[in-house]
Structure 1
Amino acid sequence: MKTNNDSLILKNRLKVARAEKNLSQGALAKEVGVSRQTISSIETGQFNPTAKLALILCIALDKTFEEIFYFD
């Protein structure tokens, strides 16, 4: 992993994990208490979720943090 924090970019596999559960963006959003736009923004990398939201997403999708989120 890179040591310069400025070069760490949080990426995710949220779309893949969501598809594995056959959930639409809207359905996942409703389940975790955010808007569909928030889910879309996370999936496209425009928004990084808070630690709390990231963990809620992991629980909803039955995945570990490392299975969904990673640094590139």
Structure 2
Amino acid sequence: MLIGDFYDRQGDYLGNDGIDDGKIDLINEGVRAKSENTTVNWGGTLSEVHSNDLKANSTEVGGLIVQNRIE
């Protein structure tokens, strides 16, 4: 199983909720993670407060493919 992970719409990994449930949450369209907030453990295990905030502003997806395009 995977730990619950959060991603933004650009495919950037935001962190995980520390719960080993294998869920993937994609931040909703029009919502931006405030990555300039240095009190958040971006890319690691997020606090319960930050995890809940991201969960409230995201949609659980069955999987995620991140595709980089180069012209």
Report the TM-score when normalising by structure 2. 0.35
Greater fraction helix: 1
Answer 1 or 2: higher relative contact order, Cα 8 Å, separation at least 6: 1
Report the TM-score when normalising by structure 1. 0.35
Greater fraction strand: 2
